[in-house]
Chains A and B, each alone.
Chain A
Amino acid sequence: MRGELSRGARSAIPVSLGIVAYALVFGVLVAGKGIGIGTLAFMNLAVFSGSAQFVLVGMWQDGVSAWQMALAAAVVNVRYFLLTAAVAPMMEPYGWFERAWRVHFVTDENWALAMAERRKYPVGANFLLGGGILVMVAWSLGTLAGHGLGVSIRHPGRFGMDFAFTAIFTALAVTMWRGKRDVLPWVVSAGVALAAHRMLPGAWYVLLGGLAGALTAAVGKGEPA
């Protein structure tokens, strides 16, 4: 059992190096928002999701309600629903309490590694956990180091740093681009978001735009299921 834990961790070493680089950038942005290092460490352990944390920190300002921020962070992670459904067979040997904490360690990276490994060898929940622990260590160390760097940057606007969130979200959005069939859903999503951004307080624009885009895609018949 312990062998599988370390095998999972070892398999995640290359991907963890990439995570550290990404985490450094996140840490710099967190510092720019004036969020303390203790709060950041708590967020890393408790939320433990890069995309959710980016959304959370991107919306981090006075006047946005806690529910709106938390909902937006959760909505970008709805895909986890499908990821963890796929690992359900691995969790079968365990009771519900153990499944409940183990599932916290499912991220895109170690999930993908476990799924790829499973095509070659039988893989258990400890492989998944080993990878998840390494990802958490890499993510935490990278963000904390970035936070240390970030507090030394003055006048972020001059370097375009205030645009960094929009830039990284745009980059992440483009990686999710599935081609022509996304044109209409994205146009609807962007249009609804822009209108809601002007008319409604807080961050309803993220939720309304995202839902409108997903519904547009779901109603459309022109794509393969």
Chain B
Amino acid sequence: MSPSLLEGVAVIALSALLVWGIRFLGLVLGEKLPRTGFWKRAMDALPGAVFAALVFPGIVGAGIPGGVAAGVIFAAIRKTGNVLLALFLGVGTVALLRGAGL
């Protein structure tokens, strides 16, 4: 089930406001944020940490095919840097392993 049209529009509007708010606040205040030490280390690490948090339960939830696909994706990105290629290899791995009954 998906949220209704009205709920969807409300979620998008709220997200848009927050994302724009970050862009605008960066313009206004960003230069005043310390560019060293604790804050810099936290800000530098944040995007990767968010993505790690986002994917891990999904990989675990997809069982063995998910784990193998994550390994394939890691290798594909490290070798080629191509996100689309990694996506197709990852999805293909899951489809193949499920087809094999795993």
Contact = CB atoms under 8 A, between A and B. Distances in A.
Interface in A67-83: 67, 69-83
B53 interface: yes
B60 A194 contact: yes
Given A78-B22, A170-B70, A175 B49 contact: no
Chain A CB count within 10 A is highest, among B24, B56, B62, for B56
Contact of B58 (A76, A85, A165): A165
A1 interface: no
Interface string A90-131: 010000000110011010000000000000000000000000
B14 interface: yes
A166 B36 contact: no
Which 5 residue pairs across A and B have the least CB separation, nearest first?
A: A85-B30, A209-B53, A213-B49, A217-B45, A84-B26
Contacts of B20: 103-104
A61 B45 contact: no
B73 A167 contact: yes
A90 to B, nearest CB: 10
A3 B58 CA distance: 47
B100 interface: no
Interface residues of B, number: 76
B11 A190 contact: no
Interface of A: 21-22, 25, 33-36, 39, 42-43, 46-49, 52, 55-56, 58, 60-62, 66-67, 69-88, 91, 99-100, 103-104, 106, 158-161, 163-178, 182, 185-186, 189-190, 192-194, 197, 205-220, 223, 225
Interface in B1-57: 1-3, 5, 7-27, 29-31, 33, 36-57
Given A39-B9, A171-B77, A185 B86 contact: no
17 contacts: A39-B8, A42-B9, A73-B15, A75-B46, A78-B43, A103-B23, A103-B26, A163-B69, A163-B91, A164-B91, A167-B73, A173-B52, A173-B55, A178-B48, A192-B53, A209-B52, A225-B37
A81 B41 contact: no
Contacts of A208: 53
Given A81-B22, A91-B27, A194-B56, A168 B83 contact: yes
B56 A190 contact: yes
A111 B2 CA distance: 34
B56 to A, nearest CB: 4
Nearest to B27: A84
Contact of A33 (B2, B18, B41): B2
Given A73-B19, A161-B91, A197-B57, A182 B2 contact: no
A161 B40 CA distance: 37
Contact of A87 (B27, B33, B37, B76): B27
A100 B20 CA distance: 9
A73 B41 contact: no
B27 to A, nearest CB: 4
